[in-house]
């Protein structure tokens, strides 16, 4: 590659942010052209955590490949696994028992909350407030406990299997989830006190990094990032799956498209996830938690695509099957990848401090982008 | 070595003055020339204070002059730097040649 | 005998002059700025030594806190501070040095020949409150008028700066 | 103690720092490798020079600051003498501030106090 | 009552009895120097552990608790470690300035200790322009930071240094203005005078509203001048990794760290002296028994108590607020603090001339 | 966890690491005590394990109790890299550079399967480094995917033990030619 | 629109289009040369309004490559899959990143992973892989004896 | 009104900041909110959920017998080749040659704790243990052989 010299124009400074940088939440590498404090251009360089999962999955069986997706977007590992399981089920034309579907949704929503809570702390940290990060982990740890009890792991649960879930719910599940819902409902006003209403936070985020609706669509943004710009793209509403159509919730939307509205959308989403959990927790149907499947799964020849709404946006799995036990080609459509492509457009002309805030509000998870 | 007195201070003042002059003559860069000028101004301040201290200790005028000179030096530096930056924006250079161009 | 005060004075003088020399000769512009600052601090030290604390503090506040920062900023703005300044022609440097040295010699000659005569009146208080009273005095030896004039000057300087700088800013963008 | 304390404190600071810095030199056999000497930029070799000419957006603030800084030093003797001088001091300072305030308003109006 | 002044006088007398004057002076100087270093190091250690504990409790965790009793030796371990950690000088830096910068920061911080009145009659140098001296010396910090930032040959450092240059310089104005408020009231720049002028009440109580406004402005400006959150633009970790000290390691970095904490201490001490009466005990009107009881608490405890209270407040800020953006920071100064400060000065002048303060 | 054997498959010399050696006796003990109790980690996380590292830093597990609190963003001031996550070929030179740029003495913990051996990405991947110790020497390995926070704390304590006992770290000189 | 309506609407406009059935969404094959124009039509037509490109990838069929574009409409909520067959030795197709800007990154990814050349792409460089990478890792015949340990 | 807005801004900002400070101040003074668990000190009382997956172990009974038949189902199920089963043939009581496990090699450093092997095992020979203190100085110590030396297949397990 041609190494450009340090300056492109008089007074422009090229500066690397990342791969090892606290603001990039991982190993994203941004090459930033600065003019004074103003960002002229941001050029993302990816691949610092490209683990060739797509290639690897071509040699894994349909049971095995699911686990590798929880390492992509590790903050919504459940939801990723869910999507994979759904795709395989689509191929096998397998009905998931009702109980399993409800458990899946419950877990999805818990994961979403855990992800948003962590994001909330990280976003506050990006803007320079450290305390919210620690408070966020208090709630996140409660979810982790629930997960650990039922699924056996804190982060990469590997709970979904084609046809249902691995284990039945732990007997403590109800109690714990209820306690958690109560706790988070109590703490959310505190979150607002610490961050949402904070004058400094508002002035840092309001009117900063505006992404218009057209741009959001054109850049393929999804999830809260796009919804903050007014795109109604919540897959749970627009292409409901697994019984989301039966639930009552609203798409969290905003029309401003700035950093603050991206923030608010996620805060609203947390509350909605709570209400989804509340709707379901007392109505878990009895029955099997797993459909009967063969030991070795074979998908018919064809192409299968399913999409879900992860904490970051639309996640899709595209399986091309040749009829064997392993996928012929597998493609993960990751929300972060498309969202990231809008970063340059959003950041241009903002200050370098805003860059960090905007990136925080995009909620990028780098392994999800690099795969 | 002698006990320092007026002469010593005057020597420092004068030396500073001429160091400043030297810098002013040899430098071609407006900022460095401005820096030399600051030295010259300071030598003047030093002399005022020295005279005040050793010749007219019953008055404060030397002190006042110094303070005012410092104030004026600051204002001068501010304006000079504004001009330098202005020149720089227009000519992309702050060499004195660029300034000479301005005259034409 | 050399006492402590004398040593301190000579140290300060050396600091002032040496760093002033470096300030005008260094080809690294940033270093030149730092040396200039050191020289100015040396002068402030001399003021301290002379027990003119107020002037010394003013010197530090204005020069270290203000002018130096401003100069450094403008260096960043207008220079590639990593590069050395272009070398001057030897002849020019030589002639300047000769001129400066001659000047210095002549002036010093005059200074040493001249017998200064000051008052023998006892020294008066040069503390801040005395300065303040004088400064606000409206009488014969008060400095009230200059005090106000300074504010006019500052106003003028500020407006000048803004006019010049803003114009260049709009032009550049 | 008088002004000598400045000397003492400077000496103390210097000795302390120098000794502190030298301790690790004597105790530690440090390793060296070529990459250690390079500037740190998030683990990526830096591109281009650092000491380039650079758009300092804040220079205007520094300019205006300098003016106000000078104003401030005149206020110190004034503040000390206020109570002794009385009303005249107030009048003078009101004039002084008034003039400066014009400049301030002018700067504000011109947008000099807004970010680039 | 036990007091520092007696102790120092005793030592002074003893020295001059035992040694010839020149030696006595030299010895005295050495003792002051050593005492200053000791104070300096102590303050550094205490402030670091305090900061960690405060942050830990605000963040619902425990903080260091395994090194020494209750973790109190944590900062000692850190210091020792830094002492034996390599303090390297990368290639390509300007070696002279790079190594000089922490020294300048240290000198500035150390010089700031001179006029602080730590207790009744316990002051290193009670010079007649006390507060102006502090303002002046603390502006040297900018230079240290700019030197460090430029000489590091690192873009983060340079950006960080320029930011903090602009920031410190701007906030010096409001800090100066709020200091002046008290100077107007007390009519002196000398620290001892200012403290004595508060013997019948602290300025924050008897200075009416202007003193309170000035106090708030001072706190904000002090936080900004010491580069602490929410004004930590210089080392804004999530933007510029380490800011101006990105390239510094080992003890060179520790010196900056130490200098920063001493600066925090000094500005808080100044705040305590100006607004909260320095070492003056709390007196309430004519409540004699109360006043007597208060008098029994040693003056140094009063002073350190107040100072540490202010330090705590600054830590409280730090662990609560997000960081401002550099332009907002300057807007805050120029649009809010400076005009308010100027109006406040006029107000206080009226009060002072009318002798409305008690 | 007793014998410190050198992994056989890595070529190269065994070197004593910096920081050992010149002083002996109680002073050395004191220094080792200080070092072991003040390990400032570099904020280095590449993937999932990084989240567990954050949990460990978080309020529930709080590794600041041991004095690891001051996470530094710059390697110059850090004592410890916790390699939390997968290292891929593109990242390896960066990791090497970060390690090289740290001031001595420096320590490394490989956290999680990926950092130890490539873990889940050991087979059939074209871009994953099969173990961070191919790139930089590692002091302590902690297995798990991800290791739970207690496990990381255990690793930190293990590292402390090693430093306290004056454990001279073996340093594996790696053939630099394979890396760019 | 339902799948059938989409098929009808499109075959009306371009009768030569091959549509595949089966699968959830209508599937169309276009010739690589026609693709950018067709894409613009999909994006601009008021009744189709496929403004959201949510997945862009490529499949290596050992004999040829197939580009796969998944489109949907945020207005009508209908989806479509468009495919284009490319020659394996010198795959080339026009870029659509001026139509859907998200395509820029996706195409760069496909470029490095499959070696598909996107003509008129503004910045066709490696995005994920290192700049000096050789080979197209997601092709079926890719082999890397050094890094890839086969199970 | 300009001035009114100006002061309104200030008042609102200060109000919001104060409410934030009240929150942190509350936590500073209420130490019962602290949730820190002190790991090495609570080691004795630390109970992990029974489903937690720390590592794969092979339980042996009192007679040093395990239930693994060496069928390699787990090896096949494992997505990342963590398990290597070395089999041998031994004569059973009836003198028939029978496949048996010689070494159940388990690479803890590769394992992702995904539970697939456990589910695949037809005889429940392996299970997940809750141990987590896996830190070692040397990575080769992480490769384990799960069947104990001299251990045998439990009677009646097919
Ligand atoms: S070891 Fe597991 S959890 Fe850790 S980085 Fe690797 S895949 Fe992620
Ligand atoms: S838990 Fe998963 S990775 Fe570990 S041995 Fe079993 S199947 Fe393999
Ligand atoms: S552990 Fe179970 S699955 Fe694995 S070889 Fe033994 S019996 Fe077979």
Q: Mean of the pLDDT values across residues C110-117?
A: 76
For chain B, domain boundaries:
6-103
CA–centroid distance for A286 within its chain = 30
How far, in Å, CA of E155 to CA of F74, rounded?
A: 13
DSSP codes joined into one string, E256-275? HHHHHHHHHHHHHHHHHHHH
D44 band by pLDDT with thresholds 50, 70 and 90:
low
The reply to whether omega before F41 is within 30° of 0 (cis) is no
C113 CB-near residues (< 8 Å, 6+ apart): none
Task: Look at A132 and G23; give whichever has higher pLDDT.
Answer: A132
To test the pocket of ligand 1, the residue of F45, F48, F54, F118 to mutate (highest count of ligand atoms within 8 Å of its CB) is F48
Protein residue with least CA distance to atom 5, ligand 1:
F85
Mean of the pLDDT values across residues E191-213?
79
The residue whose two tokens read 């970010």 is D115
Q: How far apart are CA F141 and CA F132, in angstroms?
A: 10
Cα distance from C78 to chain D (closest Cα, Å)? 6
* Domain architecture of chain A: domains with CATH: 1-49 (no CATH), 50-369 (1.10.645.10)
- Residue F178: what pLDDT? 30
For residue D69, how many other CB atoms are within 10 A of its CB? Answer: 28
Distance of CA G34 to the CA centre of its chain: 13
H146 in contact with ligand 3, CB cutoff 6 A: no
Ligand 3 neighbour H73 (Cβ under 6 A): yes
> Residue of the nearest CA to atom 4 in ligand 2?
H111
A161 pLDDT higher than 70: yes
Q: Structural domain tally of chain G?
A: 1
What CA–CA distance (Å, rounded) separates A100 from A105? 9
Asked, for residue G142, whether it belongs to a domain, the answer is: no
Paired sense of beta strands H152-153 and H65-66, if any: parallel
Report how far residue E39's alpha carbon sits from residue A310's, in angstroms, rounded to the nearest whole number: 56
Predicted local confidence at residue D34, as pLDDT: 67
CA angle at A308 for the pair A303 and A311, rounded to the nearest 5°? 145
Run of H or E residues at A332:
strand A329-333
pLDDT band at D49 (very low <50, low <70, confident <90, very high): low
Backbone angles phi, psi at F23, to 5 degrees: -85, 155
Structural domain boundaries in chain D: 3-110
**Rounded Cα–Cα distance for residues A37 and A60 (Å):** 48
Contact D27, C38 (CB under 8 A): no
Model pLDDT, residue G84:
85
| CATH classification code of D3-110 | 1.20.58
Instruction: Indicate if ligand 3 lies below 6 Å from the C-beta of H72.
Output: yes
What pLDDT digit, counting tens, does each position of C13-67 carry? 888 889 888 888 887 888 888 888 888 888 888 888 888 888 888 888 888 778 8
CATH of the domain at G58: 3.30.460.80
Q: What is the mean pLDDT of residues D43-65?
A: 68
Give yes or no for a contact between B14 and B44, defined as CB atoms under 8 angstroms apart.
no
Cβ contacts (< 8 Å) between C8 and chain D: which residues? 7
The domain of G108 spans 3-119
pLDDT score, position B93: 65
Residue B101 pLDDT: 61
For chain E positions 38-97, those within 8 Å of chain C (CB to CB) are 94, 96-97
Provide residues of F within 8 Å CB-CB of chain G. Answer: 89-90, 122-128, 130
H84 CB-side CA count, 13 A:
9
Average pLDDT of the residues of chain F: 73
| Residues H67 and H133 occupy one common structural domain | yes
pLDDT in tens, F93-137: 888 888 888 877 888 888 888 888 887 888 888 888 887 878 888
Domain extent for H7: 1-35
Residue G148 lies in a domain: no
Q: Domain check: are H62 and H107 in the same one?
A: yes
* Closest Cα in chain D, distance from residue A27 (Å): 10
- According to DSSP H, which parts of C79-143 are helical? 90-113, 128-136
Nearest to A347 by CA among A338, A355, A339: A355
CB-count exposure of residue D108 (10 Å: 0-12, 13-18, 19+): middle
Tens of pLDDT, residues A307-342: 888 888 888 888 888 888 888 888 888 888 888 888
Q: Give the 3-state secondary structure of residue F19.
A: coil
In a domain, G150, yes or no: no
pLDDT band at residue E3 under the 50/70/90 scheme: low
ipTM above 0.95, yes or no: no
Instruction: Classify residue G52: in a domain, yes or no.
Output: yes
Q: Answer yes or no: is pLDDT of A160 > 80.
A: yes
pTM of the model: 0.88
The pLDDT-based confidence of A72 (bands split at 50, 70, 90) is: confident
> Which pLDDT does position D4 carry in this prediction?
73
Please tell me the distance between residue H149's alpha carbon and the centre of ligand 2 in angstroms.
22
Per-residue confidence (pLDDT) for residue F175, from 0 to 100: 38
Residue H158 lies in a domain: no
Q: Which residues of chain F have pLDDT under 70?
A: 1-25, 166-180
H68 and H16 in a single domain? The answer is no
pLDDT given for residue G85 in this prediction: 85
Residue G94 lies in a domain: yes
More confident residue, F18 or E233: E233
Name the pLDDT band for D102 (thresholds 50, 70, 90).
Answer: confident
Three-state secondary-structure class, residue G93: strand
Q: pLDDT tens, position by position, for chain H (158 residues)? A: 678 888 888 888 888 888 888 888 888 888 887 888 877 777 778 778 888 888 888 888 888 888 888 788 888 888 888 888 888 777 766 767 777 778 888 888 888 888 888 888 888 888 888 888 888 877 777 888 887 777 777 776 66
Ligand 3 pocket, H78 CB below 6 A?
A: no
Specify burial of residue G122 (Cβ count, 10 A radius: 0-12, 13-18, 19+).
exposed
Residue A130's nearest CA partner among E315, E221, H17, E78 is: E315
User: Is the Cβ pair E59, H27 closer than 8 Å?
Assistant: yes
Is H55 strand, coil or helix? Answer: strand
Write down the pLDDT at residue D21: 80
Token digits for C106? 């002549």
Q: Which CATH class is domain B6-103?
A: mainly alpha
Average pLDDT, integer, range A86-115: 86
Residues of G near F (CB-CB distance < 8 A)?
A: 129-130, 137, 142, 144, 147-151
Reply yes or no: is the peptide bond before residue F164 cis, omega within 30 of 0. no
Q: Is the domain of H25 the same as that of H72? A: no
Give buried/exposed letters for A48-70 (b at 16+ CB in 10 A, else e).
bbbbbbbbbbbbbbbbbbbbbbb
What pLDDT score was predicted for residue C168? 57
Residue E234 binned pLDDT confidence (cut-offs 50, 70, 90): low
Interface residue of C32, C34, C40, C81 to substitute, partner E, most E CBs within 10 Å: C34
Report how many domains make up chain H. 2
Q: How much distance in Å is there from the Cα of A155 to the middle of ligand 1?
A: 10
């Amino acid at each position: 590659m041609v190494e450009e010299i340090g300056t492109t124009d008089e007074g422009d400074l090229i500066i690397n942010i990342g791969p090892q940088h606290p603001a990039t939440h991982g190993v994203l590498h941004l090459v930033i052209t600065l003019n004074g404090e103003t960002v002229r251009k941001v050029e993302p360089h990816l691949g610092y955590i490209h683990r060739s999962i797509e290639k690897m999955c071509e040699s894994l069986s349909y049971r095995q490949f699911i686990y590798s997706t929880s390492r992509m977007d590790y903050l919504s590992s459940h939801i990723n696994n869910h999507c994979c399981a759904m795709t395989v089920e689509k191929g096998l034309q397998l009905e998931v028992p009702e109980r399993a579907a409800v458990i899946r949704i419950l877990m999805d929503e818990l994961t979403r909350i855990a992800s948003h809570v962590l994001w909330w702390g990280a976003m506050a940290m990006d803007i320079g407030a450290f305390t919210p990060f620690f408070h966020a982990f208090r709630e996140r740890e409660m979810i982790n406990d629930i997960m650990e009890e039922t699924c056996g792991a804190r982060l990469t649960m590997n709970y979904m299997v084609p046809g249902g879930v691995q284990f039945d719910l732990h007997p403590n599940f109800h109690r714990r989830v209820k306690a958690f819902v109560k706790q988070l409902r109590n703490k959310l006003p505190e979150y607002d006190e610490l961050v949402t209403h904070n004058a400094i936070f508002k002035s840092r985020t309001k009117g900063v990094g505006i992404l218009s609706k057209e741009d959001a669509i054109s850049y393929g943004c999804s999830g809260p990032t796009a919804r903050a710009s007014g795109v109604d793209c919540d897959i749970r509403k627009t292409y409901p799956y697994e019984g989301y159509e039966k639930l009552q919730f609203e798409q969290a939307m905003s029309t401003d498209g700035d950093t603050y509205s991206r923030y608010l959308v996620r805060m609203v989403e947390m509350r909605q996830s709570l209400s989804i959990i509340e709707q379901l927790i007392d109505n878990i149907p009895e029955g099997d938690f797993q459909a009967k499947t063969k030991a070795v799964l074979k998908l018919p020849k064809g192409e299968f695509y399913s999409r879900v709404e992860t904490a970051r946006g639309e996640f899709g799995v595209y399986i091309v099957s040749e009829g064997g036990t392993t996928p012929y080609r597998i493609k993960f459509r990751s929300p972060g990848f498309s969202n990231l492509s809008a970063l340059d457009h959003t950041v241009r002309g903002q200050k370098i401090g805003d860059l960090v805030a905007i990136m925080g509000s995009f909620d990028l998870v780098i392994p999800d982008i690099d795969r | 070595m002698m006990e320092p007195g007026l002469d010593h201070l005057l020597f420092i003042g004068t030396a500073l003055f001429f160091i400043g002059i030297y810098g002013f003559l040899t430098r071609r860069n407006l900022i460095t020339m401005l820096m030399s000028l600051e030295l010259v101004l300071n030598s003047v301040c030093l002399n005022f204070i020295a005279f005040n201290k050793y010749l007219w200790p019953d008055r404060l005028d030397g002190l006042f002059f110094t303070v005012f000179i410092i104030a004026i030096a600051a204002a001068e530096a501010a304006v000079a730097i504004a001009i330098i930056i202005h020149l720089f924006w227009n000519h992309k250079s702050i060499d004195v040649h660029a300034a000479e161009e301005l005259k034409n | 005998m050399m006492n402590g005060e004398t040593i301190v004075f000579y140290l300060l003088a050396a600091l002032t002059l040496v760093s002033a020399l470096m300030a005008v000769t260094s080809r690294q512009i940033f270093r030149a700025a730092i040396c200039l600052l050191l020289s100015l601090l040396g002068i402030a030290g001399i003021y301290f030594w002379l027990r003119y604390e107020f002037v010394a503090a003013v010197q530090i506040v204005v020069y270290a806190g203000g002018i130096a920062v401003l100069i450094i900023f403008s260096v960043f703005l207008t220079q590639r501070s990593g590069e050395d300044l272009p070398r001057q022609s030897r002849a020019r440097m030589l002639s300047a040095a000769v001129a400066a040295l001659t000047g210095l010699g002549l002036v010093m000659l005059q200074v040493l020949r001249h017998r200064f005569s000051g008052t023998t009146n006892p020294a008066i208080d040069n503390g801040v409150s005395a300065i303040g009273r004088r400064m606000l005095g409206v009488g014969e030896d008060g400095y009230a008028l200059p005090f106000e004039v300074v504010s006019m000057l500052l106003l003028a300087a500020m407006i000048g700066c803004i006019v010049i700088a803003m114009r260049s800013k709009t032009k550049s963008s | 103690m008088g002004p000598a304390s400045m000397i003492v404190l400077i000496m103390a600071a210097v000795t302390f720092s120098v000794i502190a810095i030298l301790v690790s030199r004597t105790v530690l056999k440090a390793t060296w490798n070529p990459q250690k000497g390079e500037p740190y930029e998030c683990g990526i070799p830096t591109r281009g020079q650092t000491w380039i000419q650079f758009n300092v957006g804040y220079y205007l603030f520094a300019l205006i600051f300098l003016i106000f800084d000078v104003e401030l030093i005149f206020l110190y003797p004034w503040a000390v003498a206020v109570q002794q001088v009385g009303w005249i001091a107030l009048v003078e300072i009101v004039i002084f501030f008034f003039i400066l305030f014009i400049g301030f308003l002018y700067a504000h109006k011109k947008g000099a106090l807004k970010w680039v | 009552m036990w007091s520092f002044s007696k102790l120092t006088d005793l030592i002074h007398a003893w020295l001059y009895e035992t040694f010839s004057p020149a030696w006595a002076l030299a010895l005295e100087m050495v003792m002051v120097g050593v005492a200053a270093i000791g104070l300096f190091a102590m303050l550094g250690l205490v402030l670091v552990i305090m900061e960690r504990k405060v942050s830990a409790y605000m963040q619902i965790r425990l903080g260091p608790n395994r090194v020494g009793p209750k973790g109190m030796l944590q900062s000692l371990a850190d210091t020792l470690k830094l002492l034996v950690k390599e303090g390297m000088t990368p290639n390509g830096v300007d070696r002279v300035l790079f190594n000089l910068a922490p020294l300048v920061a240290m000198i500035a911080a150390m010089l700031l200790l001179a006029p602080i009145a730590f207790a009744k009659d316990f002051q290193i140098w009670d010079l007649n322009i006390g507060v102006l001296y502090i303002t002046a010396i603390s502006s040297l910090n900018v230079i240290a930071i700019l030197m460090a930032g430029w000489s590091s040959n690192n873009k983060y450092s340079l950006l960080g240094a320029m930011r903090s240059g602009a920031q410190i310089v701007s906030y010096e104005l409001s800090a100066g203005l709020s200091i002046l408020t008290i100077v107007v009231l007390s009519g002196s720049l000398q620290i001892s005078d200012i403290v004595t002028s508060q013997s019948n009440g602290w300025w924050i109580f008897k200075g009416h509203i202007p003193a309170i406004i000035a106090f708030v402005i001072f706190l904000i400006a002090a936080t900004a001048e010491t580069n602490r959150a929410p004004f930590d633009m210089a080392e804004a970790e999530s933007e510029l990794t380490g800011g101006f000290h990105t390239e510094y390691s080992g003890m060179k970095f520790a010196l900056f760290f130490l200098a920063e904490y001493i600066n925090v201490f000094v500005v808080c001490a100044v705040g305590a002296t100006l607004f909260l009466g320095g070492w003056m005990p709390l007196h309430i009107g004519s409540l004699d028994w109360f006043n007597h009881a208060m008098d029994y608490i040693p003056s140094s405890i009063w002073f350190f108590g107040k100072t540490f209270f202010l330090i705590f407040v600054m830590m409280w800020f730090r662990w609560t607020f997000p960081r401002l953006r550099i332009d907002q920071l300057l807007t805050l100064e120029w649009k809010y603090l400076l005009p308010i400060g100027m109006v406040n000065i006029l107000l206080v002048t009226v009060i002072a001339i009318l002798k409305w303060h008690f | 966890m007793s014998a410190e054997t050198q992994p056989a498959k890595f070529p190269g010399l065994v070197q004593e690491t910096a920081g050992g050696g010149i002083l002996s006796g109680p002073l050395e003990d004191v220094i080792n005590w200080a070092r072991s109790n003040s390990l400032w980690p570099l904020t280095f996380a590449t993937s999932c394990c990084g989240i567990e590292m954050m949990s460990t830093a978080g309020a529930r597990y709080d590794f600041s109790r041991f004095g690891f609190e001051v996470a530094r963003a710059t390697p110059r001031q850090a004592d410890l890299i916790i390699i939390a996550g997968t290292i891929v070929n593109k990242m390896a030179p960066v990791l090497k550079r970060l390690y090289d740029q740290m001031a001595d003495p420096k320590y490394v913990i490989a956290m999680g399967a990926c950092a130890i051996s490539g873990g889940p990405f050991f087979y059939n991947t074209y871009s994953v480094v099969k173990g961070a110790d191919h790139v930089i020497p590692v002091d302590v390995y902690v297995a798990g995917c991800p290791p739970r926070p207690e496990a990381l704390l255990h690793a930190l304590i293990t590292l402390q033990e090693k430093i306290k006992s004056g454990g001279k770290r073996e340093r594996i000189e790696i053939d630099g030619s394979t890396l760019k | 629109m339902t799948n059938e309506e989409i098929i009808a609407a499109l075959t009306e406009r371009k009768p030569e289009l091959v549509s595949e059935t089966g699968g959830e969404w209508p599937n169309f094959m276009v010739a690589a040369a026609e693709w950018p124009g067709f894409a613009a039509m999909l994006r601009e037509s008021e009744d189709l309004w496929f403004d959201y490109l949510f997945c862009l990838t490529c499949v290596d069929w050992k004999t040829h490559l197939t580009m796969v574009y998944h489109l949907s409409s945020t207005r009508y909520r209908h989806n479509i899959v468009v495919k284009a067959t490319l020659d394996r030795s010198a795959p080339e197709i026009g870029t659509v990143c001026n139509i859907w800007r998200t395509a820029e990154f996706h195409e760069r990814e496909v470029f490095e992973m499959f070696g598909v050349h996107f003509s008129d792409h503004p910045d066709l460089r490696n995005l994920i892989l290192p700049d000096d990478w050789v080979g197209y890792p997601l092709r079926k015949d890719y082999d890397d004896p050094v890094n890839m340990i086969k199970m | 009104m300009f001035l009114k807005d100006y002061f309104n801004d200030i008042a609102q900002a200060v109000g919001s900041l104060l409410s934030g400070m009240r929150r942190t101040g509350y936590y500073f003074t209420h130490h019962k909110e602290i949730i820190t668990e002190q790991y090495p000190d609570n080691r004795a009382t630390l109970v992990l959920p029974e489903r937690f997956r720390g590592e794969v172990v092979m339980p042996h009974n009192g007679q040093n017998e395990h239930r693994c038949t060496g069928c390699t189902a787990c090896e096949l199920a494992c997505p990342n080749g963590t398990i290597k089963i070395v089999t041998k043939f031994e004569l059973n009581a009836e003198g028939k040659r029978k496949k048996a496990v010689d070494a159940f090699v388990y690479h803890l450093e590769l394992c992702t704790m995904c539970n697939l092997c456990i589910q695949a095992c037809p005889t429940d020979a392996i299970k997940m243990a809750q141990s987590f203190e896996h830190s070692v100085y040397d990575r080769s110590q992480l490769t384990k052989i799960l069947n104990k030396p001299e251990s045998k297949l439990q009677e009646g397990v097919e």
